[in-house]
Amino acid sequence: MKFKITYLITVLLLSITSLYTYGQSVFPGKQTIDKKEYLGLALSNSIPEKYLNNYWEAYLNKFGKVKGKRGVYTIEKAAVPSVSPNPVQVTSQVNSEQKNQSKVFMALYVDGNYVGNYSDQTYKAAESILKDFSDYASLREESRLADEAFTVAEKSYQKQQKDIEDKTKEIEKSEKKLAELRAEVEKGKTDSVQSLLDLQNKQKALETIKAKIPAIK
């Protein structure tokens, strides 16, 4: 169990390092979502997809009502002042590109155009959204890993406490049995003294009777 806790702490530290290593990797690109190709921006991240999904959905709520199924999230009229004073249509997807690397793709439809080229005036603002999310997701993941390590440590402590309680009960039971055996030994010693006296008396009686028997000539 001690090894498991140490391992989790090591994983936690390595994961945090990975998060900051990959967290700022934002680049323009295209992605097909529900059979339609979108132009947008993508963020590569080392956070496992299932957790990144939760973090992204929670983060998007700050811009408006989020719709969609797990992995694909949209906001019809998002309020993103840094990108545009007008409503912005957000289409996004979270998936795994390869082992130990997930991706958040975000397409922003602004004033009749999709943001996705470095030359777009709104690109930097859109890029900042994903970078801000990266920091947010990193902290959420750090908290999750710390909580996981705490849970393992807590279970280990509880198990140790239970082992101590069980052994204490065994000791108490053994001590009680030992006290009973000692009492039986003491009683046996007392009974043994009485039995010895009784044996000696019966031996004397036997010798007395034998002495009365006449010898055969």
pLDDT tens for each residue of 105-135: 999 999 899 998 877 789 999 999 999 999 9
Closest of 124, 94, 118, 121 to residue 106, by C-alpha: 94
84 and 77 in contact (C-beta within 8 Å)?
no
The whole-angstrom separation of Cα 20 and Cα 53 is 18
81 and 63 in contact (C-beta within 8 Å)?
no
pLDDT tens for each residue of 11-55: 444 444 444 444 458 999 999 999 999 999 999 989 999 999 999
pTM, entire model: 0.71
DSSP string, 40-105: EEEEEE-S-HHHHHHHHHHHHTTTS--BSSTTEEEEEEE--TTT-SS-EEEEEEEEEEETTEEEEE
Q: Where are the domains of the chain?
A: 2-151
Rounded percentage of the chain residues whose pLDDT exceeds 90: 59
Would you say domain 2-151 falls under CATH 3.30.530? Answer: yes
Give the per-residue pLDDT at 24: 55
Kind plus residue range of the DSSP H or E element containing 214: none
